[in-house]
Amino acid sequence: MKNQAMTSAAALEGQRQADLGDGTYLNPIFAGDHPDPAILRDGDDYYVTFSSFESTPGLVIWHSKDLLNWQPLGPALSTPIGCVFAVDMCKVDGRYFIYIPVIPTAVSPDPKAPVLTYVIHAENMAGPWSEPISLGIEGHIDPGHVVGEDGKRYLFLSGVSRVRLTDDGLATAGPVEHAYDGWRYPDDWVVEAYALEGPKLTRRGEYFYLTTAVGGTSGPPTGHMVTVARSRSIDGPWEDCPRNPIIRTWDAGEPWWSKGHATLFEGPNGQWWSIYHGYEKGFATLGRQTLLEPIEWDGDGWPRAGGGDLSAPLPAPLPVPVSVPAASPAPGQGHGVPLSDDFSTERFGTQWSFHSPSKDEYLRASFDDGLVLQSRGTAPSDSSPLTCIVGDKRYEITVEMEVRGDAQGGMLLYYSDRLFCGMGHDGGRMTSYRAGRAIPYWREPAPAARTMHLRIVNDNHIVTQYYSLDGIDWTRHGLRFNVEGYNTNTADELLSLRPALFASGAGEVRFRNFNYRVLDD
């Protein structure tokens, strides 16, 4: 198993890729933090996006022909509107729509407003996208769009509630009403909470299939699960699947935990699939990763998951001949994007995003023989660092930085403003960070210098740091960290541990040659 996984593809710095090149694939199809996948099929094209929370640019849209190899088109939200939860995408009358639940933050139009649902629309999935339009729906997340048998448009919402939309999909056409009570699991099951959420609707034959998530999205590994109900009418009544839940982590020994938030859809060659998220056993630090599982239909018209525990390779949606050796895709082909960056071009929204930004966060960044970040805040916690998603268990990151003025610059492994570790330097001294704060008892004897090379190695949660004046001779930092606890069950935020660059204080920091390298097993 280990050898099959490691030979999936050697391109893109050794990043994990699902396509094994022999007609099979190994989950995840999106390694790293890609939660709440929303998928749209448009002919032979497939599009997916994920919850972006407070990262900006947000809602990066990915495109694929085969469900395994995905390339980013770019972000649908270029400016922050709040904390973006699970969305849904659809195409109606030749126009594309994304329905977006937002928990207000300081950058929202009304920071004191309740949870609101917005919509954006475009003529092309690559954009440009419209400005967000509030639908006036309060207190609900996880919209799921559907066109009923009456030809009218509806949004199903957490709860499960429902609201009718106008024909153009840009406003509501009635009140929010309760629609479905949800399937109830036995009381002795170990879950986080009931939490009926994530309604997604699929029409197959004479039935509408309503897929929901219950059990809570983190906490116990056996909590989150996928349940199904069906009805001949969008108005119900809804009949629960006799085999609910159709997807669940039944035992903590399984490789994927807290599996849930699924959508059923028809893929290439008439095959059916389920796309959903889950935590990798022992690596909650990577966030909720995206999984793809085949779906079978029984004689009574009910779906059945066909992937097993997902630890073994599965037949690819579009198998390739085994006799044809898999070629390593060139950059820009295959799956994903390289994370190494010489900062010669802007890569916001494909690789980099600001965490918890202000409205004008882009104004801090410029490109002049590298990336120049104007300082913000007094420490990493309030600096709105620039972060990128990683999906590997063993990796090394390196960057060169030049500190100007009274700035402090540095590189981190960043979970949230309350939980991070790494190094900062202000030209005079180094500050070491752990558990979301400067370490008060440790002063690293790094030299005074305006230009410094930094390196962080994350080896199965064990973090070792290095610094250098020339990028050739390296000094190992005196402390090592264990970051296994930098996850949602510690910090109570649905995020992931990410490489990050920060500039705080007064001044600016120039970053050059960020390098990402996966470490071989």
What does the alpha-carbon distance between residue 94 and residue 7 come to, in Å, rounded to a whole number?
Answer: 40
Please tell me the predicted confidence (pLDDT) of residue 360: 87
What does the alpha-carbon distance between residue 295 and residue 304 come to, in Å, rounded to a whole number?
Answer: 6
Please tell me the predicted confidence (pLDDT) of residue 326: 40
Please tell me the predicted confidence (pLDDT) of residue 9: 37
pLDDT tens by residue, 108-135 = 989 999 999 999 999 999 999 999 999 9
pLDDT tens by residue, 201-240 = 999 999 999 999 999 999 999 999 999 999 999 999 999 9
What does the alpha-carbon distance between residue 79 and residue 57 come to, in Å, rounded to a whole number?
Answer: 6
DSSP secondary-structure letter at 323? T
Split at pLDDT 50, 70, 90, the class of 4 is very low
Residue 494, pLDDT > 90, answer yes
| pLDDT more than 70, % of the chain | 95
- Percent helix / strand / coil, the chain, rounded to 5: 5, 45, 50
Average pLDDT, rounded, for the chain: 94
| 326 against 76, higher pLDDT | 76
The 10 Å CB-count burial string (b at 16+, else e) for 142-168 is bbbbbbbeeeebbbbbbbbbbbbbeee
Residue 98, pLDDT > 80, answer yes
Residue 61, pLDDT > 60, answer yes
Residue 33, pLDDT > 60, answer yes
Split at pLDDT 50, 70, 90, the class of 11 is low
Residue 321, pLDDT > 90, answer no
Q: Which amino acid is residue 483, in one-letter code?
A: V
Please tell me the predicted confidence (pLDDT) of residue 367: 95
Please tell me the predicted confidence (pLDDT) of residue 325: 42
Split at pLDDT 50, 70, 90, the class of 334 is confident
Q: Compute CA 328 distance to the chain's CA centroid, rounded to the nearest angstrom.
A: 25
Residue 323, pLDDT > 90, answer no
Residue 381, pLDDT > 50, answer yes
Residue 319, pLDDT > 80, answer no
User: Is pTM, for the whole model, over 0.85?
Assistant: yes
Residue 183, pLDDT > 80, answer yes
Q: Compute CA 208 distance to the chain's CA centroid, rounded to the nearest angstrom.
A: 28
Residue 45, pLDDT > 50, answer yes
Residue 453, pLDDT > 90, answer yes
Please tell me the predicted confidence (pLDDT) of residue 322: 45
Residue 219 backbone class (left: φ over 0; alpha: ψ -120 to 50; beta: rest): left
pLDDT tens by residue, 243-299 = 999 999 999 999 999 999 999 999 999 999 999 999 999 999 999 999 999 999 999
Residue 324, pLDDT > 80, answer no
Residue 182, pLDDT > 70, answer yes
Please tell me the predicted confidence (pLDDT) of residue 99: 98
Residue 195, pLDDT > 70, answer yes
| pLDDT more than 90, % of the chain | 93
Please tell me the predicted confidence (pLDDT) of residue 2: 36
In the numeric block, which tokens belong to residue 190?
Answer: 């170990």
Mean of the pLDDT values across residues 351-370?
94
Residue 481, pLDDT > 50, answer yes
